[in-house]
Amino acid sequence: MVTFKGFIMNTEDPIVLPSDIQQLQLRKCKGGRSSLNGIFGLKDVTDLKECTIIDSCNGLESIFSSWCASLQTLEVLHMRSLRNLEAIVGESVLSTPGTFSSLKEIHSVWCGKLKNLLSAKWVFRNLEEIEVRSCIGMEEIIASEIEGMSTDNVVMFTLPRLKILKLVHLPELKSICKTKEVMVCDSLQQIEIWNCPKLERIPPHLPLLELDNSQPSPPPCLKEICIDPEECWESMEWDHPNARNVLLPLLKFRNARKTQWKAV
C-alpha cells in the first residue's frame, strides 16, 4: 500500500508509483492536477486493486483522464469529499471491453458535482456494492449511452453479482437508470434508499413466474428493501401493476426516532 497524507502535490512531473502497487490512498492532500493520471502517470501501474481518495486534491475533476490498466484491474473505489469531481472517467477516454470488469465496490460520499456515477457502456460483471451518500448534484446512478432510443424498446443490462445498493441523501436523484432500461440483479440482497425525494422508480428486474398467471416475483436473493420516508414508497412507479404487493413482505421503514429499520 502507498499512502499520501497531507501531501502537497504541486510537482510539475507526475509522481512515479511502483508498477506493482495494489493499494493507493490519498488523504487530505493539497494541490495536484485534474486527474489521477496527471498526478501519478498511471500508465505503468499494472495491478492497482484499491483506490481511496478522501478530502484531497481540490482540482480533481475526474479520476481517470486517459486509458490505463487500472481501469481493468481496480476492485474497490472510495471517493469522499471531492468537491470538484465531475466524472470518474473523463469524456475523452475511449471505453474498452474490460473497463471496470474487475470492480467489486464503489463508494461515493460528499462529491457534490458528480451528476452520475457509472456508465451503461462499462462492464460490471463483478460489481457487488454501490453506495452513494450526500452527493447533492447526483441525478442518475447509471447514465445511458443510448441516444435516440425508441420509447417502445426496453433495454436490459445485467449486474449479476450486485448484492447491496445504498442511496442516501441525494436530493436531485431522479433515477437509478433510464425509464426504459431495466437492471437484472439476481444476486441483489439489500436495497436501502432514504432522503431521495425525486426518485420515482426502482428498476431491478422482477422475474415472471409463468406457472402463476405470469405474476412477478422478487429477485431470488433479495432480503430487504429499506425506504425512508414512507411516502417515498407510496409514490414509486413500477413496470408491473402487482410489483408493489409482491415486494411488500421485504419492506422496512425507519422507526420514529430514525435509529433502526422496522418491518412493515
* Domain assignment present for 208: yes
Whole-structure pTM value: 0.89
Residues in the chain: 264
* Domain assignment present for 99: no
Q: Specify the residue for cell string 436531485.
A: 172
* Domain assignment present for 76: yes
Q: Are residues 131 and 229 in the same domain?
A: yes
* Domain assignment present for 15: yes
Q: Are residues 165 and 243 in the same domain?
A: yes
* Domain assignment present for 135: yes
Q: Are residues 134 and 253 in the same domain?
A: yes
pLDDT > 70 fraction of the chain, expressed in percent and rounded: 89
| Sequential DSSP letters for the chain | -EEEES-EE--SSPPPPPTT--EEEEES-EE--SSHHHHH-GGG-----EEEEES--TT--EEESS--THHHH--EEEEES-TT--EEE-TTSPP-TTTTTT--EEEEES-TT--EEEETTS--TT--EEEEES-TT--EEEE----S--TT--EEEE-TT--EEEEES-TT--BSS-TTEEEE-TT--EEEEES-TT--B--B---EEGGGTTEE---TT--EEEEESHHHHHH-B-SSTTHHHHHGGGEEEE-TTSSSEEE-
Q: Are residues 130 and 244 in the same domain?
A: yes
* Domain assignment present for 97: no
For 12-33, write each residue's pLDDT tens digit: 777 888 888 999 998 988 877 7
SS3 93: coil
Q: Are residues 24 and 129 in the same domain?
A: no
* Domain assignment present for 109: no
Strand bridging mode 140-143 / 116-119: parallel
CB neighbours of 11 closer than 8 A, spacing ≥ 6?
Answer: none
Return d(Cα 48, Cα 56) in angstroms, integer: 19
Indicate the number of domains in the chain.
Answer: 2
Q: Are residues 51 and 126 in the same domain?
A: no
Of 54, 73, 92, which residue sits at a domain end?
92
Q: Are residues 132 and 256 in the same domain?
A: yes
Q: Are residues 61 and 131 in the same domain?
A: no
Q: Are residues 136 and 261 in the same domain?
A: yes
Q: What is the pLDDT of residue 167?
A: 97
State which residues form the domain around 128.
Answer: 121-146+153-264
Q: Are residues 131 and 213 in the same domain?
A: yes
Q: Are residues 6 and 127 in the same domain?
A: no
With CA atoms as reference, report the closest residue to 17 among 42, 37, 34.
42
What type of residue sits at position 100?
F
Q: What is the pLDDT of residue 150?
A: 47
pLDDT at 217 over 90: no
CB-count exposure of residue 83 (10 Å: 0-12, 13-18, 19+)? exposed
Q: Are residues 127 and 244 in the same domain?
A: yes
Q: What is the pLDDT of residue 109?
A: 97
Task: Confirm if 66 and 44 have CB atoms less than 8 A apart.
Answer: no
* Domain assignment present for 112: no
pLDDT > 90 fraction of the chain, expressed in percent and rounded: 36
For 130-146, write each residue's pLDDT tens digit: 999 999 999 999 887 65
pLDDT at 212 over 70: no
